[in-house]
Structure formats: structure tokens, C-alpha cells
Chains A and B, each alone.
Chain A
Amino acid sequence: MNKVFAISLNTFKESIRDKVLLSLVLLGLLLIAASKMCVPISIGQAHKIIKDWGVGLIEIFSVFIVVLIGTRVLYQEIERKTIYSIMSKPVRDWEFVFGKFLGLYYLVIVIQLILFIIFLLFTKFYLGTVDWYLLNALYFYLFEFLLLNAVAVFLSCFTTPITAGILTLLLFFTGQLTHYLKDLVLVMNTPNLNALVNSLYFILPNFSVFNVKASVVYHLPISINSYFLSFSYSVLYSMILLIISSLLYSLKEYK
């Protein structure tokens, strides 16, 4: 695990110095602050608008970080030829893949924590109180982005960063709607199509299990099952993707 930790820490350090990241974080902070501008056009709804805007923005920015940085972490090692000095050392393919994945995940966690702290301070400044219930969203985001990171790393094992980025984005947005596939099966009466749609429902990552935005903004109760489901689903699905990624990576050659 020492090697996985060393690779992850190096990936984190490298990403934190990425100019794309700095620009994204600055833009995120600006946009959180911009939510104040929406207040005049939503009389009486200021609290909800600011919270909704902030929670949504943190999610979208995390998605962009994964798409723009996460899909490049493996590719860059090959492109810059730094991989030669790593894979010629006693490092197994899975140690490299898990290390890169974890480094990217540390980055997302740190960025989310920064954005959440600033967002909570912002709510204190403009709304007078800190809404601690919003932190529930952070819990679900941590597992949502564990999975999205695994999706990005998996896709970047066999595609270019651009393709992996587009596919990651596509899977993230379709993953918010996969529960509708279940409803589709109920409406359709074609057995073959039903089997296909059912398979898609189980294969495609279901990001809707992490969607508690409405609950945290409107202070609706969140069941214990949701906490457990988001954790177990994310960890299990991510592990499967990372194991497949490691197998795919072991087929790679470094010319």
C-alpha cells in the first residue's frame, strides 16, 4: 500500500499545481458569490435560491474537475513518458491504477471541502446563519465522485482524454436518469426490449442514488438507507471498475 500511497500523493501534488484547476476553483468561488445577484429576482425565496445554487454549483464544478483533470491523469504519464520510470520499478498495474485514482480522489475531496467551507461562510454572511444540514450533500457528493472518478479512470484506460471526458460527462447525466429506465420497462411490453432496458439499468452507473439536493435545501428527512445505499453502491461499483481498469492496464505496452 506504500506504493499506492506514494503514487496517489504524487498525483495529488501534480494536479493541485494544474492551472486548469486553479481557474476552475476561482470560477466556482465567483459563481457562488454570484448567487447573491439572483436574490432580488426571487423575493421570499432567497434562502432556497442561494442554497440550491451553491449545492448545485459544487456538484457541477466537481464534475468538471473529474472530466478535465481525471481523464488525463493516466494518459499524461504515457504522453510525458514518466511512466517508463514507474513501471520499470516493482510496481504492479493495479497499484498504479489505484494510486492514480486515489490521487485524483484526494483532489476532488479537497476542492469540495474548500468550496463547501466558502459556501457555508457565504450563507452565514448573507443569510445570517450557517445551515449545517447542507453538509449532508457533502457526504453524498463524496461517494458520488468516488464513482465518477472510477468511471473516468476506467474510460481513460482505453480511450483518449477527450473521448473519455465526453463519455464521463454523458454517463454522469444519463446516470441521473437511469431510474426512469425502470419506469420504461413497466410501460413497454416487448420482452426483448425489456431485457435490454433492464440490463442497461443494472450496468449503467446510477447517479440518482446520490441526489439529495432537494432534501438538503428544503430540510426534508434523508433515510438511513440512502446513506448506506450511496456508500455501498459507490464503493462496490468503483471497485469493480478499478479492477477491470487494472486488467485493461496490464495489457498496455509503453513504446
Chain B
Amino acid sequence: MNVIEIKDLIKVYASPFIRIKTIGVNGLNLEVEEGEIFGLLGPNGSGKTTTLKIITGLLKPTSGSVRLWGGIDPILARKRMGFLPENPTFYQHLTGIELLRFYSRLYDKNPKTKELVELLELVGLKKVINRRISSYSKGMVQRIGFAQAITGDPNLLIMDEPLSGLDPIGRRELKDLILKLNSSGKTILLSSHILSDVEAICNRVGIIIEGKMKKIGYLRESLESEIRYTDIEIENLQEIEWLKEYGTIRKEGEVIYLRTLDKEKRDRVIRLIPGRGGRIISVVPQRLSLEEHFMRAVNE
């Protein structure tokens, strides 16, 4: 079942006094299935944040449709949804625990202090529950942002750049938390600039360029679909000149490394090596990284 269905979405920002119009999203289509972690990628200004804000109801689409859980009432949809905005800011006068209590009430919930403490513990803020938000570091604000997004125990979590502003330990912890939340059945839609993070946590990715979905697919599928070259490690081979026909060679002591770009040549040389007295130690196909996929989509 699709949790999110976006069809031909267009968002135009128009200023009321000047005739300049900016296109935020330009005919975007997207479907997010229940239980997946979907990563939205795209350069700055490509329309990622606009898309997420339209889904959460903070912006209205100019045209096209956004259907959540098949088209349920927007308030009901927001009851099942948690949102972490990009560079979030919260009420500076409240403490961590007061902030979560406030947001819980917006979901018509009245949690016990113990439950809120557990939630803060989950995001690594147990030690600062009674400190005001104004004294929190950037990383702590990001963590409390995570906590407020899950206060209503949502089925769908929408996160805009969730790992920005965090140190490597924080990134690791929150990546693990995202995976944990996903394994407990939550659907996650996130946008990120950090491609390695997307590669580490997402099942499926979509690349948005100039408001349009340029590429979409399962991460493993799209990363495995293209092999750039293959590295073959060989030993015990006396004669190596003939290998040059199949690719570039490099010799390190007794070991020969052959890099071949062509799939047919690779298969042929693998068959020939044992006949010439050589032994193949390893065959490693080098695939396109997400970054290369991304750059290719940007340049297309």
C-alpha cells in the first residue's frame, strides 16, 4: 500500500506585488510505499523541502495532487505523521521535557513524565531534560527535533536533512534510530545532502532536479545495475604481455592486477588465465557509487 501518492505536483511561488514567479516543484510524481525508507536527493533549490512541506500541509500545491493513505482527511493524516524540519527551531523558554509535553498535547495525548523521559533517552538527551532549549547545542536541537517528530507515535516520519548539524557519533546514533524506527513499522521519507547517509539507510531513492523527479529506484538495484570496471587479481602467471589486450595491468611482486572495462573481455580473460598457468585470486566488479549516480543525473 502506498502511504504517499504525489501526481503531477506543481508549486509556483508568486510574489503579490512583483510579477516574478519561482517554480518550486515542476510536475513531480512520487509514490512511497508502506514500511520503506525513501531518500529524496537533489541539489540545493531542487524542490526537496517544498515537496516535504506540501506533504505536511505547510504549503499548498499550485496544481496536482498529494494523497496520504489513499486520500484521508489532512488532519487525520497529520495525526499519523511526524515532521522534522530542516534546521529546526523550538521554543527557547521551554525545557526539553516541557517541549515534548507541549507537542504531545497537540496530538491530544497526555503522556506521563516517565514516557517523555524515555523518549528523550531514546534520542540521547536524558541528561538535559530539565535544561531550557536556549542552552542546547545545535546537535541537541536536532535530537530534540527527532524526539518531537515521534511524540505522537506516527506511522509516517518525514525528515528534512535529519542528520545535518550532528557530529559523527550523533550521525551514527540517529542513523541507527531511523533504522530502528523503520524496523518497528514506520515509513520514513527523508531528504539529505549527505549521500553516504542515504546509501546507508534508504531502501529507495529519488533524485529531484529542477522540481522534477529525474530518477527513482531501489538503491541496491540502481547501484548494482551498472559496473564501471572489474579488477582481477592474478598470481603464478609467467607471461603477462598478452593481458594488455584485455585491459590495463599493474604488477606488484608476484601479483598481477588487471582492470578491464569490457564485460565480454572480462569473461574471456577469466576463461583464458587458468590455461596459461595463472590462478585467479579475486574478481571485484566496481559499481557506480550513489554519488556518481547523483552527479550523472544532475549533468544529464
Chain A residues in contact with chain B, CB under 8 A?
A: 2-3, 5-7, 10, 13-14, 17, 80-92, 253-255
Are the C-beta atoms of A86 and B59 separated by less than 8 Å? Answer: no
Which residues from 34 to 58 on chain B have a C-beta closer than 8 Å to any C-beta of chain A? 53, 56-58
B91:A10 contact, CB within 8 angstroms: yes
Tell me whether B108 and A3 are in contact (CB under 8 A).
yes
**CA of A54 to CA of B58 in the docked complex: distance in angstroms?**
46
Contact code string B59-95 (vs A, CB < 8 Å = 1, else 0): 1100000000000000110110101010111110110
Q: Which residues of B contact A (CB under 8 A)?
A: 13, 53, 56-60, 75-76, 78-79, 81, 83, 85, 87-91, 93-94, 102-103, 105-108, 110, 145, 148, 152, 158
Looking at B83, B105, B107, B145, the one whose CB has the most chain A CB atoms below 10 A away is B105
Given A88-B81, A90-B76, is A10 in contact with B102 using a C-beta cutoff of 8 Å? yes
How far apart sit A2 and B148, CA to CA, in the bound complex (Å)?
18
B105 touches A13 (CB 8 A): no
In whole angstroms, how far apart are the Cα atoms of A7 and B148 in the complex? Answer: 15
Do B78 and A6 have beta carbons less than 8 Å apart? no
What residue in chain B is nearest A11 (Cβ atoms)? B91
Which of A7, A17, A90, A253 has most B Cβ within 10 Å? A90
B93 contact set on A, CB distance < 8 A: 13-14, 17
The listed residue (A5, A7, A13, A85) touching B85 by CB distance below 8 A is: A85
Query: How many angstroms from the CA of A47 to the CA of B90 in the assembled complex?
Result: 49
Instruction: Looking at the assembled complex, report how far the CB atom of B96 sits from the nearest CB atom of chain A, in whole angstroms.
Output: 14
Given A85-B148, A89-B78: A254 in contact with B58 (beta carbons within 8 A): yes
* List of B residues within 8 angstroms of A92 by Cβ: 75
Min CB gap B258→A, angstroms: 55
Bound Cα distance from A254 to B57, whole angstroms:
9
Chain A, residue nearest B49 (CB): A255
Q: Specify which chain A residues have a CB less than 8 angstroms from the CB of B83 in the assembled complex.
A: 84-85, 88-89
Chain B residues with Cβ below 8 Å from A6 are 102, 105-106
